[in-house]
Amino acid sequence: MRILVTGGAGFIGSNFVRRMATRPDVDMVTLDALTYAGNLDNLEGVAGRHTFVRGDICDADAVTKAMDGADAVVHFAAESHVDRSIATSAPFIRTNIEGTRVLLEAARECRVRKFVHVSTDEVYGSLGATGYFTEESCLAPNSPYSASKAGSDLLARAYCETYDLPVVITRCSNNYGPYQFPEKLIPLMVIHALEGRELPVYGDGGNVRDWLHVADHCSALEAVLHAGVAGEVYNIGGRNERTNLEIVKMILYIMGRDESLITFVKDRPGHDRRYAIDASKMERELGWTPAYDLERGLTETVAWYVAHREWWESILSGAYREYYERQYGVEL
């Protein structure tokens, strides 16, 4: 099977490429623009198992070339950070909506047999104290990021209905694990704790997220790639609801650091209060279950960031950008 993986130099995409690189019957092309979030260091060790193409998913020619001969597309490429979307929404609309449209058009032309559109639970908006998001929940996004993802989901759905493109949409909860860009909650807090800096918790720290180890997200996506039914949506989640404050305290406990590092800061505008996923359809129909419990996953994740100081220091210093300029001879 030949797969085109978009966004494969990012956090989840690179974990997926690494997983699929162990499958002898899979041939992969990774298409990634190497934005600030893309990092070839994330793909170290699998260079011989996929073809890396630097390209923008909004560029129809680059996409068509990269998709040539593909049986399936697994589409991760996106602007992914909510806070950035609040500061500037334009790149989110461009990549997440227009980029997805370009990919869907190319997938029609190339007659791919499966298009896995990797989306997020954030398209459902925010929950109160009880209840879960199911695949039937209404889309009610609250940030420019989640609105752009919801837009891309609706386009993907429309291409399936209108053109019979075999699209499957997945909506996953918050991921954590190795290679996550250090702007996101867990790596940011681990790095701040390592450096003895304040840990900035938004608002009262009572917002709830449903955490899933990235390896479990990737195993779910592999199951969807093989057995997901065209036109269907699959929710993916870990049944690991925790408040942000609980997560930050767990990190400090694992690291043996003092809770006095916690600092409450101004809240995120439009901050979704609670996400919780009902993943029973994935479990029932595709036989998927997560392997990690949160305590083990978080302990291993903290250990990974401690052991990979060079990886995150090169991001924080900006050195990883210079590497691409040398590699590609272009300023990014």
Catalytic residue positions?
121-122, 145
Q: Return phi, psi of residue 294, to 5°.
A: -65, -40
Supply the minimum distance, in Å, between the C-beta of residue 79 and ligand DAU: 9
Supply the minimum distance, in Å, between the C-beta of residue 226 and ligand DAU: 24
Considering beta carbons, is residue 58 or 165 the nearer one to ligand NAD? 58
Does the protein bind ligand NAD through residue 301 (CB under 6 A)? no
SS3 state at 202: strand
CA within 13 Å, CB half, 82: 19
Q: How many residues bind ligand DAU (CB under 6 A)?
A: 19
Considering CB distances under 5 to 8 angstroms, the limit depending on partner class, which of ligand NAD, ligand DAU, none binds residue 56? ligand NAD
Does the protein bind ligand NAD through residue 9 (CB under 6 A)? yes
Among 120, 143, 219, 235, which residue interacts with ligand NAD (rule: CB under 6 A)?
120
Q: Which of residues 104-133 bind ligand DAU (CB under 6 A)?
A: 120-122
Distance of CA 56 to the CA centre of its chain: 17
Does the protein bind ligand NAD through residue 57 (CB under 6 A)? yes
Among 14, 30, 42, 80, which residue interacts with ligand DAU (rule: CB under 6 A)?
80
∠ Cα 266 270 274 (to 5°):
95
Supply the minimum distance, in Å, between the C-beta of residue 7 and ligand NAD: 3
Does the protein bind ligand NAD through residue 13 (CB under 6 A)? yes
Residues 85-103: b if buried by 16+ CB within 10 A, e if exposed: bbeebeebbebbbbbbbbb
Does the protein bind ligand DAU through residue 42 (CB under 6 A)? no
Q: Which of residues 148-167 bind ligand NAD (CB under 6 A)?
A: 149
Continuous H helices in 164-293: 185-194, 214-227, 244-255, 280-286
At 178, the amino acid letter reads P
Considering beta carbons, is residue 151 or 166 the nearer one to ligand DAU? 151
Considering beta carbons, is residue 244 or 301 the nearer one to ligand DAU? 244
Count other Cβ atoms within 10 Å, centred on residue 285: 14
Considering beta carbons, is residue 84 or 257 the nearer one to ligand NAD? 84
CA distance 66 to 38: 17
Considering CB distances under 5 to 8 angstroms, the limit depending on partner class, which of ligand NAD, ligand DAU, none binds residue 77? ligand NAD
CA distance 86 to 84: 5
Enclosing H/E stretch for 75? strand 72-75
Q: Which residues contact 162 (CB under 8 A, 6 or more apart)?
A: none
Considering CB distances under 5 to 8 angstroms, the limit depending on partner class, which of ligand NAD, ligand DAU, none binds residue 301? none
Considering CB distances under 5 to 8 angstroms, the limit depending on partner class, which of ligand DAU, ligand NAD, none binds residue 191? none
Considering CB distances under 5 to 8 angstroms, the limit depending on partner class, which of ligand DAU, ligand NAD, none binds residue 2? none
Closest CA to 106 of 152, 155, 73, 79: 73
Q: Which residues contact 255 (CB under 8 A, 6 or more apart)?
A: 190, 193, 194, 302
Per-residue tokens: 219 = 């195993």
Considering CB distances under 5 to 8 angstroms, the limit depending on partner class, which of ligand DAU, ligand NAD, none binds residue 281? none
Does the protein bind ligand DAU through residue 173 (CB under 6 A)? yes
CA distance 30 to 42: 12
Does the protein bind ligand DAU through residue 202 (CB under 6 A)? yes
Chain residues binding ligand NAD by CB under 6 A are 6-7, 9-13, 32-35, 37-38, 56-58, 76-80, 95, 99, 118, 120, 149, 172, 174-175, 181
